[in-house]
Structure 1
Amino acid sequence: MRKLTEAEQNKIKLLTKNQVSLTLIEPTETGLKKSIMDATGPVRSFLKSENIHDYDLQKQGPDYKVVIPTIIHTGFKTKKSKASLYRPLTKNGDPRIWFYSLTEVTEANDIIAITYFDDNFQVFNLTKLDIETLINSSIQNPFQDLVRAINTTENEVAFELLTLLRKIAGAGPVPSMVDADTSVGRTLETALGIDINSSKKPDYKGIELKSFRNSRTNRKNLFAQVPDWKLSKFKSSAEILNAFGYDRQDDFKLYCTVSAITRNSQGLNLRIDSDIKQLIENSDKSEVGDFVVWTLDKLHSRLREKHKETFWVEAESTRINNREHFQYKLVEHTRKPITSQFDLLIDQGIITLDHLIKRNSKGRVVEKGPLFKIKPKGIELLFPPSESYSLI
């Protein structure tokens, strides 16, 4: 796809601000004449991530063509259409997409935006459509209605959760559930009626909750993810523990932080190999060297899954009658992490990894991680501009 103009980039920024997720495609002159376009990698990824269509599961040939209703936006009017998604029998079944009547609203090398709402593709010519005027128009129009409907739908759960948090905060300091570092999060989730479990899914109707004490500048948890054991020299957390663990009271454990900018006291560090798209953990022991790996694709997937939408809840900690209490005060609301920044922030030591492995007196090995954590200053680098809400 060609480089976007500054005007096209500004239109995308405005749509992103209004919670409109989209993908882009550039019809060629040949494609318009033949009524055919390649479903490029970004288009395929968008359709798959939004659970619209997965070309990887689609068989080749006309019998397996998928047709999806489509609305083409032309400004103050719309045109009903349909999209065909298919893989031809020729050319290795390269994925194709076409929107009927597209030639009526576009010329070669215009940028076409594709979003999905109300069981329809919603398609418009990003190059030619005056996005800002339509959204802000005093005259109601279909495009304005679409953006407002998407914005309302995207924010519905967030506003619901924000109302609940303000109700909890308004009742005053909440007694801690347990005497532990994790109590600030566990206490809030209990107050919200959320079951405490180890699920990898977001906490509240698709929104992840991350709570922290405002008196601390500790790193914040992003997600937990074990290495790809099939690609790693070591095949289990027990092997990592055996190689680098130490005795503490009744346990044999490895509790440590691993960074890409320095080796820790166990001689461990991280390294990104962009050529093979892997994050590698290395030991300075010559007989060990590189011992576990994560594929960057998997880490990016976990980041998108866990933090598609997140409430970072700040609490003030006080002690009342010798028991910790939490006054929840502020929320930072982030959406859609920039996965390409994840790799950079690891390289810069802003995102690090924590091992939390131990073997107890009964010989059982327990792994609470590995946890990927981010320094507070990294939040604004990993996510697009966020919204902040006061709870009291």
Structure 2
Amino acid sequence: MLTKADISISEVIASLSSFRVEAGFLVPTPTGLEKSILDAHEDLRIFLAKSGLHYFDHQGQGPENKVKIPANIITESGVIGSFASLYRPNTKSGDPRIWISKLNAHSKPWNLIALFVSNGQLFVFNASDPTVWKSMNNTNSPLYLALMSAGSNYSLVETELLRKLKEIEAAGFVRSTTNAASGVGDTLEKLLGISRNSSKNPDYKGIEIKASRRNNPNQTQRSVLFSMVPNWGISELKNGAEILETYGYLSPATKQVELYVTVKHQPNRQGLFLDLDAKNGLIVNVHQCNGTRKPVVSWKLNELQEELSKKHKQTFWVKAKNRPESGHEYFHYFEVMATASPFVSYFGPLVLSSQISMDYTLSTKLRPSGAPFARDHGYLWKIANNSFESLFPPPRIIDLAKLTI
């Protein structure tokens, strides 16, 4: 049936091979499109099995054994959600059948339909459609991005984001949007077109982005995981103002009461430290003074783990070289460390080993009336940079200058 395709399959194979992509093919007949049923020929069955998507040899006959798997139909301008039905009828010795929902709207009889897999997902496109086929040469098209993703083992979103980061790397040093410590992250977000907001969701289509300076002697070698306020309902102190009033100090620079300190498992100068209450599933900030210990605030361990899992399902840790120039700071973003699916059960033990810590960022501000109030910049949970592989599976290190994508 493939020989009846209305375009040269060898030319399609050559183009797909240039992307390092292996594909399976279908050629719908008029009857197949009319009845929404196509023969799953042997080459296609081998392709599906090799990709790990479906094994017809292990499938029973009859409608009760039908299998549906997610599929994505690529057009010249987008990706349409679909599914593939895979089954063996009770008749004709159970000859394997396949149908891709919505295929009728995107194909004609004798068109060559290509199927390929990227990150475990099935993608489908009509190679006979001139507009779809030509879009393969457009580096911003859905087909190009999907094929690049399939050939490089990057997802579609990863491919899109890495291409943007590569363009940023190629631009060299760029001026920071601010002279504050947050400039390395703020500048990258602006370059990526990400608006500042208070959302706790990942920054870029499901990918969290964290930027940091490389080898800055004034920067502690820790990275922020997330910010989470204490669980006030189970805490001794009930808000940031009480924490500031009890443990804050007078800043010589601002002449205001502040509390900018790191809290680890070992007591700091204020006598504050973190402890794990395994029996009750809590991380507790404890104060120690003259041999006496008392709880300050607490977090539920499972809530910390949930936030870690939600925030860092997939993260790009972007490294930047920095340099001062004419009173401003400039950044050159050059490397990405990509992590995924943290080992949340290690959170508590890493707190006990002081590899995970929490920073208070509290200060006193004055209202227009002159009345003071506590300004809360977050309760920042951080990890030591040399402990990444204790919390995350081995990361992928991506040199943006050498990246081909």
Please indicate, yes or no, whether the TM-score normalized by the shorter chain is above 0.5: yes
- Unmatched segments (≥5 aa) in structure 1: 1-70, 83-99, 103-114, 123-141
List aligned pairs for 1:245-284, cutoff 5 A.
Answer: 245-248=248-251, 249-260=254-265, 262-284=266-288
Please name the residue that 2:10 is paired with. Answer: none
Alignment partner, residue 222 of structure 1: 225
Which residue matches 1:390? 399
1:171 alignment partner in structure 2: 171
Q: Quick one: percent identity of the two aligned structures?
A: 34
Picking from 372, 375, 378, the partner of 1:366 is 375
* 1:239 and 2:242 aligned: yes
One-letter code aligned to 2:160: E
Is 1:279–1:296's contact at 8 Å kept on the other side of the alignment? Answer: yes
Alpha-carbon spacing, 1:73–1:289, altered in 2? closer, same or farther (3 Å): same
Map Cα deviations across residues 144-166 of structure 1 (whole Å, 9 max, x no partner): 78835398597110110000011
Alignment TM-score, normalising by the size of structure 2:
0.61
Q: 1:290 to 1:331 in 2, by over 3 A?
A: same
Query: What CA distance in whole angstroms lies between the structure 1 residues aligned with 2:121 and 2:259?
Result: 51
Q: Once the 2 structures are TM-superposed, how far is the Cα of residue 344 of structure 1 from its aligned partner? A: 1.5
Aligned counterpart, 1:316: 321
Following TM superposition, by how much is the alpha carbon of 1:320 offset from its aligned partner in structure 2, in angstroms? 3.0
Please state how far the C-alpha of 1:361 moved relative to its aligned partner: 3.5
CA shift, 1:343, in A, is: 1.4
- 8 Å CA contact 2:168–2:191 kept in 1: the answer is yes
Provide TM-score, normalisation by structure 1. 0.63
What corresponds to 2:296 in structure 1?
Answer: 291
Residue 321 of structure 1: how far off its partner (Å): 3.2
Give the letter for the 1:373 counterpart.
K
Quick one: which amino acid aligns to residue 263 of structure 1? P
- Please name the residue that 1:33 is paired with: none
1:219–1:376 Cα contact (<8 Å) kept: yes
User: 1:250: how far off?
Assistant: 3.0
Within the candidate set 325, 328, 331, 1:326 is matched to 331
Larger Rg: 2
CA distance in structure 2 between the aligned counterparts of 1:178 and 1:169, rounded to whole angstroms: 19
| 1:232–1:221 CA distance, 2 compared to 1 (3 A) | same
C-alpha distance in structure 1 between counterparts of 2:210 and 2:274, whole Å: 25
| In the alignment, structure 1 residue 351 sits paired with structure 2 residue 356 | yes
Q: Does 1:147 align with 2:150?
A: no
Q: Which residue of 2 aligns with 1:51?
A: none
What residue number does 1:5 align with? none
Give the 3 Å change call, closer, same or farther, for CA 390–237 of structure 1 in structure 2.
Answer: same
Partner of 1:157: 157
**1:338 pairs with 2:347:** no
**Which residue pairs with 1:49 in the alignment?**
none
| Mapped partners of 2:355, 2:62: distance in 1 | 47
> Residues of 2 paired with 1:361 and 1:159: CA distance?
47
Q: Tell me the CA shift for residue 207 of structure 1.
A: 0.7
State the Cα deviation string for residues 51-108 of structure 1 (Å, max 9, x = none): xxxxxxxxxxxxxxxxxxxx994465556999xxxxxxxxxxxxxxxxx769xxxxxx
Give the 3 Å change call, closer, same or farther, for CA 319–300 of structure 1 in structure 2. Answer: same
